[in-house]
């Protein structure tokens, strides 16, 4: 594995439903398999020492899906969070810190509590931050940050005319590792889908036709190898 690794990887976990439909299975089975792959890639990132990986799990737009599917996804998240409690010692050994970004207050109360518990119990780990974006939207995140800055300006804490990009970035959900170096999207789609819009300003994009439930650690390594070959100029020469 190359020594040139990204500090922040964003991953859009896409293709769960299509994976299940292609096998004559309920779409929920694809989400179950996708959750297993999430754990696999999170563990691989920690093994390699990548400081931060943000996974897109459930967007603000996903509420428009059939109610049965949304309920099944919430049940799966609930079970996964309980499993995270069982994996507490394993996560500590691997140095994995779990964080949840998005409008958590829009989730069922018990899921909010489980998510906050997972964050609290892993906050001492520092090898790899695994962000799980749930009820998340990139535009909503930027609007939230702008409102928080506006309130601080109104309170006299900041000068609106002198605001900087760094001050706005500090109000986002990912202040520790704001900029995404590598954005991975499997499933054949080639769009951001309202994911980490600010953070992906200079991200390297890597696409794959593999549906997320079939995504492997080897394919993740391949994306990292491709990243290491790219020349990043950030608008320079």
Strand order across the beta sheet in which 8-12 lies: 96-101, 128-136, 52-59, 8-12, 182-185, 204-207
Task: Render the burial of 125-159: b for 16+ CB within 10 Å, e for the rest.
Answer: bebbbbbbbbbbbbeebeeebeeebeeeeeeeebe
pLDDT of residue 67: 93
pLDDT of residue 133: 97
Pairing between strand 204-207 and 52-59?
A: unpaired
pLDDT of residue 236: 63
All structural domains of the chain with their residue ranges = 8-137+178-229
For each of the chain's 237 residues, which pLDDT tens digit applies? Answer: 557 899 999 999 999 999 999 999 999 999 999 999 999 999 999 999 999 999 999 999 999 999 999 999 999 999 999 988 888 888 899 999 999 999 999 999 999 999 999 999 999 998 999 999 999 999 999 999 999 999 999 999 999 999 999 999 999 999 988 899 999 999 999 999 999 999 999 999 999 999 999 999 999 999 999 999 987 776 665
Q: Spell out the CATH class of 8-137+178-229.
A: alpha beta
Distance CA 95, CA 188 (A): 32
> Comparing C-alpha atoms, which of 170, 177, 119 is closest to residue 144?
170
8 Å CB contact between 211 and 29: no
pLDDT of residue 88: 86
Catalytic residue annotation: 14, 62
Distance CA 187, CA 193 (A): 13
């Amino acid at each position: 594995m190359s020594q040139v690794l990204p500090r922040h990887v964003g991953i859009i976990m896409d293709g769960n439903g299509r994976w299940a439909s292609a096998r004559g299975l309920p779409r929920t089975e694809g989400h179950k398999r996708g959750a297993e792959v999430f754990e696999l890639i999170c563990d691989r990132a920690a093994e390699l020492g990548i400081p931060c990986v943000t996974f897109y799990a459930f967007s603000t737009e996903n509420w428009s899906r059939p109610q049965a599917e949304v309920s099944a996804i919430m049940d799966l998240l609930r079970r996964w969070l309980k499993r995270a409690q069982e994996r507490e010692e394993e996560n500590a050994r691997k140095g994995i810190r779990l964080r949840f970004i998005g409008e958590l207050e829009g989730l069922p109360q018990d899921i909010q509590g489980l998510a906050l518990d997972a964050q609290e119990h892993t906050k001492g780990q520092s090898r790899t931050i695994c962000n799980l974006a749930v009820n998340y939207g990139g535009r909503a995140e930027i609007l939230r940050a702008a409102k928080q800055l506006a309130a601080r300006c109104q309170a006299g804490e900041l000068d609106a005319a002198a605001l900087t990009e760094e001050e706005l970035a500090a109000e986002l959900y990912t202040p520790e590792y704001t900029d995404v170096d590598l954005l991975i999207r499997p499933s054949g789609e080639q769009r951001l889908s309202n994911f980490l819009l600010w953070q992906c300003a200079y991200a390297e994009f890597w696409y794959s036709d593999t549906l997320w439930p079939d995504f492997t650690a080897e394919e993740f390594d391949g994306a990292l190898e491709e990243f290491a070959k790219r020349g990043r100029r950030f608008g320079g020469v």
